[in-house]
Each structure stands twice: as C-alpha cells, then as structure tokens.
Amino acid sequence: MQPEVQARLRCEINETLAQHDNQLTYECMNKMAYMKQVFAETLRKYPILPHLVRQALNDYVVPGYPKYVIPAGTLVTIPVIAIHYDAEIYPDPEKFDPERFTPEMVSAREKVEWLPFGDGPRKCIGFRFGHMEMRVALCYLLQNFHFALCTQTVVPVQISKSFSTIPKNGIFLKVERI
C-alpha cells in the first residue's frame, strides 16, 4: 500500500491543514499538490472505465492515411487502460509513481494521454465533484489511519473483465488507527 507515499501524503495533509487553521477548505485542498499527483496516478492505473465509446459526428480522415476514413455515425472505442499502460507514454507503467504527475511531467504529455474521466465536451460532468470528494475523504482517512495490504490480497491486483475497473479477487486491508 505504498507506505512511503502514505507517509509523504499524510505529512502534506498535516502541514497544509496547519497553515489553514486546521480548516479543510477548497483553498486548502488546492494547496495539496502531492495529493493531486497521487489521485492522478491512482486513476491512471485504475481508471473507472477501462474504455470510452464515442460516436463520430463527422467523417474523419486519419491523418497521414487519406484512404482511411471513419464515417460519421461510427462508434469508436477509446482504450483508456491501453493508453494509461503504454510504456512510451508512462515508462514502467505497472509501477505506482505519483511523480508522473508533477506540473512539468503533465505539461510534457498530450492532454489525451490521461483519460480517466474522458475529455472534451463529453468529459464526465461529475469530474470536479468526484475529484474533490475523493480528496476530502483521503484527507480524513490518512489523518486518522494507516493502511496496509492483508495476506488475502492477491498481488499484483488483477482487474476483472467487466464494465468498470474493479479488482478480480477483491482488496483486503489492514487498517490501524493512528
């Protein structure tokens, strides 16, 4: 369960809260840069949906291949999980590495190389709410608990072949109050 990531994140939470009179406000949450990185890396490895389906609104000529045209109305599947695990985009993709999401690293990549909520006008409308809700929950949990995997958890975690990204064999945790 990444004890070094938990420790660094817990430290960031406590330091940031101390600078904001221990009030978890929107501004306070936005100061937690490492938390944003951890959240982004988690969604890279485990996007909610492993693929997106979109419909071409117009005929689309594939750049560099003029004889290949995606006709208007065609359903197109975007393999989110394949993009997120592409070693050319994310070296050593199996490794959990929040440093992939520093501002410098993010600006060096194309926007469409991280799609856990989709992109463009069809991007998940709950993105901002879900993002903030998860970060608030993570603040509370890491301030009060330490997490570790139990021996029942199969490592590496295997993903079920279903509509959404869920662990095939579950994840069992050991939770200790701090």
The Cα–Cα gap between 84 and 7 comes to 26
Output the pTM of the full model.
0.88
Q: Report the amino acid identity of residue 156.
A: P
Whether the Cβ atoms of residue 9 and residue 34 lie closer than 8 Å to each other: yes
The Cα–Cα gap between 128 and 25 comes to 15
**Topology annotation, domain 3-177:** Cytochrome p450 (1.10.630)
The reply, when asked if residue 124 is annotated as ligand binding, is yes
What is the pLDDT at residue 146?
Answer: 95
Whether the Cβ atoms of residue 93 and residue 101 lie closer than 8 Å to each other: no
What is the pLDDT at residue 118?
Answer: 85
What is the pLDDT at residue 6?
Answer: 96
Alpha carbon of residue 149 to chain centroid: 20
The H or E element that residue 76 is part of is strand 75-78
What is the pLDDT at residue 161?
Answer: 80
3-class DSSP assignment, residue 94: coil
Q: Report the amino acid identity of residue 112.
A: V
Token pair of 68 as six digits: 């290949």
The torsion angles phi and psi of 61, rounded to 5 degrees, stand at -90, 125
How does pLDDT run along the chain (178 residues), one tens digit per residue?
799 999 999 999 999 999 999 999 999 999 999 999 999 999 999 998 889 999 999 999 999 999 999 999 999 999 999 999 999 999 999 999 999 999 999 999 998 999 998 887 778 888 889 889 999 999 999 999 999 999 999 888 888 887 788 888 899 999 999 9
